[in-house]
Amino acid sequence: MNTVLIFIIGIPLIEIYLFIKIGSQIGAFNTVLLILSTAILGVAYARYEGFNTLKSGIGQLIKNQLPVYELISGATLAFAAFLLIFPGFATDFMGLLLIIPYSRKVILKKFVSKNKKSNKSEHNKNFIEGEFEDIDDNNDRKI
């Protein structure tokens, strides 16, 4: 089954289940307040971390280095802010994991190492081994 379809169906089902379970424990009004507060606080913290990433990237540019980690980290922070704005507890948890610098580094390292392994296996499939001989037409002529 397509992974995107699983996410499109699975995430709302998980969120609805968590809304029901948490809402039955703390009440509907408190559940709504908790969702709104995590969205507001999460986006504010994402903005703070985004500015820190921007400062770090500018520092890398001043040192004449390419800020690769900062670019990837900035995109991850934007995705995390989207997850925090999206109502739900599971998406808020994933967004908070992506905002916290330590867990973001761990997640990005696992993601990059996984992609490097798959790229190496795909890269090796594009080569055909063989031998060749360079034939020069000019050697056959007599001068």
Res 24: pLDDT: 94
| Whether 91 contacts 82, CB under 8 Å | no
pLDDT tens-place string over residues 6-16 = 888 899 999 99
Neighbours of 52 (CB within 10 A): 14
Average pLDDT for residues 8-31, to the nearest whole number? 92
**Is the per-residue pLDDT at 105 higher than 70?**
yes
When pLDDT is cut at 50, 70 and 90, the band that residue 18 belongs to is very high
Kindly give the interhelix angle for 89-99 and 68-85, rounded to the nearest 10 degrees: 160
Res 120: pLDDT: 59
Domain boundaries, the chain: 3-125
When pLDDT is cut at 50, 70 and 90, the band that residue 140 belongs to is low
Q: What is the dihedral of CA 9, 11, 15, 18, to 10 degrees?
A: 100
Res 127: pLDDT: 65
